[in-house]
Amino acid sequence: MAEPRSNDAFVEFERVQKSYDGETLVVKDLNLSLPKGEFLTMLGPSGSGKTTCLMMLAGFETATHGEIRLDGKEINNIPPHKRGIGMVFQNYALFPHMTIAENLSFPLEVRKIGKSDREAKVKRALDMVEMGAFGGRRPAQLSGGQQQRIALARALVFEPELVLMDEPLGALDKQLREKMQFEITNLAHSLGITTVYVTHDQTEALTMSDRVAVFDDGRIQQIAPPDQLYEEPDNSFVAQFIGENNTLMGTLKEIKGDQALVELDDGEVIDCKPVNVSQVGERTRVSIRPERVEFNKDRLQQGAHTLKAEVLEFIYMGDIFRTRLRVAGNDEFIVKTRNAPDQVRLEPGTQIDIGWLPQDCRALEA
Amino acid sequence: MSDTADTGPVLAADGTPLKRSLAKALRVQKIRALLLIAPLLIFVLISFIVPIISMLSRSVENDIVQNTLPETVPLLAAWDASSGELPGEDVYDALARDMVIAVNAKQHTKLATRLNYEQTGIASMFRKSGRTIKKWDPVADAPFKEKFLELHDGWGDIETWKTIQTHSGAITNGYFLNAIDMQKTPDGIQAQPENKQILIKLFIRTLIMSLVIMGSCILLGYPVAWILANLPAAKANLLMILVLLPFWTSLLVRTSAWKVMLQQQGVINDVLVWIGLVDDANRLIIINNQFGTIVAMTHILLPFMILPMYSVMQTINPTYVRAAKSLGATDWTSFWRVYFPQSIPGIGAGSILVFILAIGYYITPEIVGGTKGVFISNRIAYHISSSLNWGLAAALGTILLVVVLILYWAYDKIVGIDNVKLG
């Protein structure tokens, strides 16, 4: 996906900073733009500034510096109720003293929409989330998943072009969460609305989004489509935060275009792809995904460097096997293999040689 | 075992009915729980329930006439008050026998006080007669009619006898009638003379002023409770201390402070005169009237409004208001449509608390209320400690209790008592 040009950006953050106490910046120099119809997820550990960004976009926090634009207009000084942004809150925030229908009708009433129009829209929104029969109930009478759908319907009933979601699935159990992930993305795409979704659950981020912005320490560490984020992390933080990763520490020995040689701390040399290291002699953290590690020699590239490894533990997990190895002094080196009929089950104590394709092994900053 | 369960009661493993086994197993627990609450239960019983029942019974109790004049009362019952003639010799003789015993036991003054509520002058008549009657011999000195008539003109007045006859029953509704500005006369139930009709007016004034005090507490307390609930904890605690400070000051000191503030030569008037808003000659009268009572009591009862409101508002998640705003509601709409309805239980709890406390308040109206700002409770206190008409005081108290219970019931019907949260 091409980086959207600034002039067709629907939502834009430009050099936005935020501080609560005047001493530390919670958001440091945020630049972000997303085109109409995109589903963007802000992912990051707690305290990384992602929720603050969402709140600034919604209007509940003011940016200390910088400009936030919606559809080309600066919205820094527009109060939340005039922004016309739909929002789904973490605890749903359904008004407990109103029925479901009244909850949905509320945004239409404050927009002074006529009664018959209102009823039609409420009905359509309820049908959209398959909750048509629940209009007369109170929020407390619904299950968590049902409340979630109502919160979604309420955020969409006044047909906003932008919807913000603040960890909306956090309170649901795993199965329901997976179902809702699917429903939310489907709904967002079929209605063509732009969505900014905040979560700390990386699976959620990967499965739902068009693009994911990984936040840490008040900055976006990487913003990319899920596959790119997973396979080509830009730095150590992203590599560690998204999915499981094996890391080996070493020193950059030689760099030749897209290929580099890294000397690990125990003297072994491996091939990798340099990402954000360029100086020979620089410390580097080499990162390999557990499912990209290969110990079948036939599948390795000719002349590829291999490492000696000792099998420490074999864990049967049903669909996959998880094998823990000692590699270059690292006892936590994990290999994941598919449970296929011809798959080898490595016995603890076995000595093997492991290797990988150079592009799967990324040399990142230490 | 399980096959018998279909036909008879469910049995425990040893063959006893399961219900009995369960009760046995729980008995120790129940006894322990009862023992734990026993001190409080006994205390409440002795210090609260028994006095209230005894007080309530005083409002209808009237056995003093029967007890003091045991022989006279039955004889007098046969007398026809409408005949226009004095009772016969037998009644006077019986009266002499009763009175000799009563005077020697010093019971006649109590009876005199009781009858004096109904007809002024009887008390002095009894007291004067008592001294002579003491010397009479109930057998040797008979007949007594002439002697009584000589003793005091009152004994020859048909009204006196009518009063004794009317109020000789063991149970009377006289106190309740008095409490609502009526009186029980020999000619039936009548309204009090207009210059004595003050109690109903006082009841109505008490209700209206309590409502005004409750209303001002809501208006002043709501914003404070809101700020308390929305401030960060450290600042909220400081403000909370300010709210609670009046609680830690003696009620008497607070009320007296209002006296200093509000009197004509007091702080407020002085300041107003100094600014020039008020002329020195026309200083405002803001104490010893209803205004003074309302100001002082609003101040004193305010914490009782703020605390329940605060505890309810604390539970209202701020995301509700955020959600309302994100849905397009202005600040006012999100407050009025979303925040306020959720805070109503707090208002309800505070209102009940303040209203019920206000309706029975005594010290503050007594000190700052003057004559126009006093409550029904001041009248009750007067009858208990000054006029010693405990029957009337009890009747007034009973009516007050019933009014509060009716209002409570009405509140339950209209707002619903489930909507009240005290914390």
Kindly report, residue by residue over A240-254, the tens digit of the pLDDT.
898 888 998 999 888
Name the residue in chain B with its Cα closest to that of A104: B327
The shortest CB-CB distance from A107 to any of B320, B322, B327 is to B327
Q: How far apart (Å, rounded) are the C-alpha atoms in residues B369 and B310?
A: 30
Per DSSP, the three-state class of A33 is strand
Q: What percent of chain A has pLDDT over 90?
A: 51
The shortest CB-CB distance from B319 to any of A79, A85, A91 is to A91
- Does residue A114 belong to any structural domain of this protein? yes
Residue B369 distance to chain A (closest CA, Å): 42
Which chain B residues touch A90 with a CB distance below 8 Å? 319
Report pLDDT for A214: 94
Query: Which helix (H) or strand (E) segment is A315 a member of?
Result: strand A307-316
A236, A253, A273: which is the final residue of a domain? A236
Which chain B residues touch A155 with a CB distance below 8 Å? 326-327
Residue type, A190: S
Kindly report, residue by residue over B300-323, the tens digit of the pLDDT.
999 999 999 998 999 899 899 999
Report pLDDT for B419: 65
Name the residue in chain B with its Cα closest to that of A154: B327
Kindly report, residue by residue over B152-203, the tens digit of the pLDDT.
888 888 888 888 888 888 888 888 888 888 888 877 888 888 888 888 999 9
Name the residue in chain B with its Cα closest to that of A155: B327
- Does residue A224 belong to any structural domain of this protein? yes
Token couple for A250: 């070493």
Which chain A residues touch B315 with a CB distance below 8 Å? none
Neighbours of B206 (CB within 10 A): 23
Q: What percent of chain B has pLDDT over 90?
A: 27
One domain, residues A190 and A60: yes
The shortest CB-CB distance from A58 to any of B326, B333, B338 is to B326
Token couple for A220: 């976006």
Residue A66 distance to chain B (closest CA, Å): 22
Kindly report, residue by residue over B76-135, the tens digit of the pLDDT.
888 887 887 888 888 888 888 888 888 888 888 888 888 888 888 888 888 888 888 888
- Does residue A1 belong to any structural domain of this protein? no
One domain, residues A211 and A110: yes
Kindly report, residue by residue over A172-212, the tens digit of the pLDDT.
888 888 888 998 999 999 999 999 999 988 889 999 999 99
Q: What is the mean pLDDT of residues A331-351?
A: 88
Per DSSP, the three-state class of A340 is coil
B324–A95 C-beta distance less than 8 A: yes
Q: What is the mean pLDDT of residues B37-53?
A: 92
A106–B329 C-beta distance less than 8 A: yes
- Bond before B365 cis per omega within 30 degrees: no
The shortest CB-CB distance from B330 to any of A81, A84, A85 is to A81
* Tally of structural domains, chain A: 2
Report pLDDT for A137: 92
Q: How far apart (Å, rounded) are the C-alpha atoms in residues B82 and B162?
A: 9
Residue A253 belongs to what domain range? Answer: 244-365
The shortest CB-CB distance from B341 to any of A97, A107, A164 is to A97
One domain, residues A176 and A96: yes
Report pLDDT for B285: 87
What CATH number did the domain enclosing A260 receive? 2.40.50.100
Residue A221 distance to chain B (closest CA, Å): 29
3-state secondary structure chain B: CCCHHHCCCCECCCCCEHHHHHHHHHHHHHHHHHHHHHHHHHHHHHHHHHHHHHHHHHCCECHHHHHHCCCHHHHHHCCCHHHCCCCCHHHHHHHHHHHHHHHHCCCHHHHHHHHHHHCCCHHHHHHHHHHHHCCCCCCCCCCCHHHHHHHCHHHHCHHHHHHHHHCCCCECCHHHHHHCCEEEECCEEEECCHHHCCHHHHHHHHHHHHHHHHHHHHHHHHHHHHHHHHCCHHHHHHHHHHHHHHHHCCHHHHHHHHHHHHCCCCHHHHHHHHHCCCCHHHCCCCCCCHHHHHHHHHHHHHHHHHHHHHHHHHCCCHHHHHHHHHCCCCHHHHHHHHHHHHHHHHHHHHHHHHHHHHHCCCHHHHHHCCCCCCCHHHHHHHHHHCCCCHHHHHHHHHHHHHHHHHHHHHHHHHCCHHHCCCC
A95–B323 C-beta distance less than 8 A: yes
A217, A236, A255: which is the final residue of a domain? A236
Name the residue in chain A with its Cα closest to that of B321: A93
One domain, residues A296 and A227: no
One domain, residues A228 and A254: no
Pairing of strands A39-43, A194-199: parallel
DSSP state of A108: H
CATH fourth-level superfamily of B199-419: MetI-like (1.10.3720.10)
Report pLDDT for A1: 40
The average confidence (pLDDT) of chain A is 89
More confident residue, A4 or A233: A233
Which chain B residues touch A91 with a CB distance below 8 Å? 317, 319
ipTM of this model? Answer: 0.82
* Weakest mean pLDDT among A286-295, B42-51, B412-421: B412-421
- Could you state, in order of their start, the residue ranges of all structural domains in chain B? 18-58, 63-172, 199-419
More confident residue, A140 or B3: A140
Per DSSP, the three-state class of A54 is helix
Report pLDDT for B421: 63
One domain, residues A212 and A256: no
More confident residue, B85 or A107: A107
Kindly report, residue by residue over B219-267, the tens digit of the pLDDT.
999 999 999 999 988 898 898 888 888 778 888 888 888 988 888 888 9
Q: How far is CA B264 from CA B280, B294, B299, B374, in A?
A: 10, 17, 20, 19
One domain, residues A206 and A80: yes
Q: What is the mean pLDDT of residues B369-384?
A: 88
Question: Does position B423 have pLDDT exceeding 70, yes or no?
Answer: no
- Does residue A100 belong to any structural domain of this protein? yes
Report pLDDT for B4: 45
Residue type, A147: Q
Q: Where are the alpha helices (DSSP H) in chain A?
A: 50-58, 100-109, 115-128, 144-156, 174-191, 202-208, 226-231, 236-241
Question: Does position A139 have pLDDT exceeding 50, yes or no?
Answer: yes
Residue B333 distance to chain A (closest CA, Å): 8
Interface test with B, best of A52, A89, A152 (most B CBs within 10 A): A89
pLDDT-based confidence at A329, cuts 50/70/90? confident
The average confidence (pLDDT) of chain B is 87
One domain, residues A232 and A307: no
Report pLDDT for A2: 41
Q: How far apart (Å, rounded) are the C-alpha atoms in residues A122 and B327?
A: 14
One domain, residues A129 and A45: yes
The shortest CB-CB distance from A111 to any of B319, B328, B342 is to B328
Which chain A residues touch B320 with a CB distance below 8 Å? 93, 95
The shortest CB-CB distance from A87 to any of B320, B323, B329 is to B323
- Based on its alpha-carbon atoms, the radius of gyration of chain B, rounded to whole angstroms, reads 31
Which chain A residues touch B317 with a CB distance below 8 Å? 91, 93
Under an 8 Å CB criterion, which residues of A touch B? 58-60, 79-87, 89-91, 93, 95-97, 106-107, 110-111, 154-155, 158, 164
A236, A253, A279: which is the final residue of a domain? A236
The shortest CB-CB distance from A95 to any of B320, B330, B333 is to B320
Report pLDDT for A211: 94
Report pLDDT for A3: 44
Residue B199 distance to chain A (closest CA, Å): 43
One domain, residues A171 and A49: yes
